[in-house]
Amino acid sequence: MHSHFGLDNNQGLTNYLSGEKSTENLIKSAPGLPRLKIITSGPIPPNPAELLSSNEMKNLIQFLKGRFKHVVIDSPPAISFTDAAILSTLVDGVVLVAMAGRSSIHLMRQFKQRLGNIGARIYGVVLNGIKSGSMEYDYYGNGYYDYYRRSETDETPLMEDTAKQNADD
């Protein structure tokens, strides 16, 4: 996440959970998106499961829920089930992310089952990496794109540009 937004990752969540208790330097604004706040992961610690299951982590999540309307946690891949399992018990719900053509349906079902066994609430699945040239995408995607496309005579957009609205707020 930090590299996507061009943020420094020398200080982050792991520093906070390891004893640097200031949230002042922890929460960063995304460049160009001042309303989007980010907490980078920080350096890889020797004890990630211990830090994620700590009271400090629970308290931080409660603090963030009280301060922000939405709190989204981008966890490590599900293959490292321990981190994802710990985080799933601290949040309201989980969105599984799968890569088209690469993620095993069997492993996704197994992961869903394991999360269910520990009481995690699964909101849904996001499928990344769909190729735009595939027949399924063209059939499904173009129909929806055409539905929301503005006609040449209509000056009113059918959908509001929420990115622009958020930038204006």
Residue range 117-152, pLDDT digits in tens:
999 999 998 988 888 766 555 545 554 444 444 444
Arithmetic mean of pLDDT, 102-116: 89
**Pick from 92, 33, 102, 99: nearest CA to 64:** 92
pLDDT recorded at residue 156: 44
Q: Is 12 exposed, middle or buried (0-12, 13-18, 19+ CB in 10 A)?
A: buried
Tens of pLDDT, residues 50-62 = 999 999 999 999 9
pTM value?
A: 0.68
pLDDT tens-digit readout, 60-71: 999 999 999 989
Contact between 71 and 61 under an 8 Å Cβ cutoff? The reply is: yes
Among 18-22, 109-113, 129-133, 134-138, the least confident range? 134-138
Q: For all residues of the chain together, what is the average pLDDT?
A: 79
Whole-number Å distance between alpha carbons of 58 and 54 = 7
- Both structure tokens of 41: 């992961």
**Encoding tokens for residue 131?**
């190729």
